[in-house]
């Protein structure tokens, strides 16, 4: 179905088509997530605004293309963990990690698909903290709320044995501003289950010193690196 130059795209008609049981399924299967526009890029894939044409609901989709996924079966995300391509494995782990979380300051998991490999999350139209702060710098009250809410989210993640490993303004999405200021942590592409790590990951400006000095610490660091990175974020928006 192609959008007419003189007519808006008819999502209602597509919704009716998606409910037709005799109609062949798309590679994503039903419900169908129709691409609206690209809104960003995560650690492992593009982030798009999509619409579920069965319901009309808007979501954010983080997607990665795996050409040979069709040869690996239809057993869901777990099958990708057996694949030997580290990028795909990390993306599948990201889906598992965010799927296991439920917190008001962590972006909400909605769905995942395997054809293509795709993570569906709640859509927050205000964008990330970097964009919001550049557009309209946070005031003192908002910065205090950022500090409280971010630490609350990290406290929860660490209690669930999840280390984010890439805390930065681009990975903090904003749900509301001013008196309704509300943030959520996003992009779990570098996250890890566990509290003992040795890989040098993350974004250099926000990385904790022990990530670079890991060879002096027995080659490992722990989830305190998230606290350091978040502290740098708060300092940055306070300056």
Kindly name the residue from 166, 187, 207, 226 that is annotated as catalytic.
Answer: 166
Burial 85-111 (b: 16+ CB within 10 A, else e): eeebebbbbbbbbbeebebebbbbbbb
Q: How far is CA 93 from CA 49, 80, 135, in A?
A: 22, 9, 33
The rounded distance, in Å, linking the Cα atoms of 132 and 169 is: 9
The alpha helices in the chain, defined as continuous H runs, are 11-18, 86-99, 129-135, 140-159, 209-212, 224-238
Q: Is 166 a catalytic residue?
A: yes
**Which runs of E-coded beta strand occur in the chain?**
33-42, 45-52, 58-64, 109-114, 117-122, 162-163, 172-176, 182-185, 192-193
How far the first Cα of the chain sits from its last, in Å, is 50
Residue matched to tokens 């993306």: 91
Q: Annotated active-site positions, please?
A: 166
């Amino acid at each position: 179905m192609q959008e007419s130059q003189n007519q808006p795209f008819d999502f209602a008609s597509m919704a009716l088509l998606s409910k037709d049981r005799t109609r062949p399924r798309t590679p994503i299967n039903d419900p169908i997530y129709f691409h609206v526009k690209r809104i960003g890029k995560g650690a492992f894939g593009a982030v798009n605004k999509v619409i579920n044409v069965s319901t009309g609901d808007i979501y954010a989709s983080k997607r990665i293309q795996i050409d040979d996924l069709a040869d690996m079966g239809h057993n869901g995300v777990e099958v990708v963990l057996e694949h030997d391509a580290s990028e795909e494995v990390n993306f599948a782990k990201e889906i598992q990690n965010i799927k296991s979380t439920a917190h008001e300051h962590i972006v909400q998991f909605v769905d995942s698909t395997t054809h293509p490999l795709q993570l569906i999350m709640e859509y927050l139209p205000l964008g990330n903290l970097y964009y919001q702060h550049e557009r309209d710098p946070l005031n003192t009250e908002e910065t205090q709320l950022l500090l409280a809410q971010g630490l609350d989210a990290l406290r929860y993640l660490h209690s669930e044995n999840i280390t984010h490993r890439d805390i930065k303004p681009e990975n903090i999405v904003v749900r509301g501003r001013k008196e309704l200021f509300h943030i959520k942590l996003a992009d779990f592409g570098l996250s890890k289950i566990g509290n003992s790590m040795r890989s040098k990951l993350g974004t250099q400006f926000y990385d904790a010193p022990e990530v670079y000095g890991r060879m002096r610490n027995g080659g490992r660091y722990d989830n305190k690196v998230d606290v350091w990175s978040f502290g740098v974020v708060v300092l940055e928006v306070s300056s």
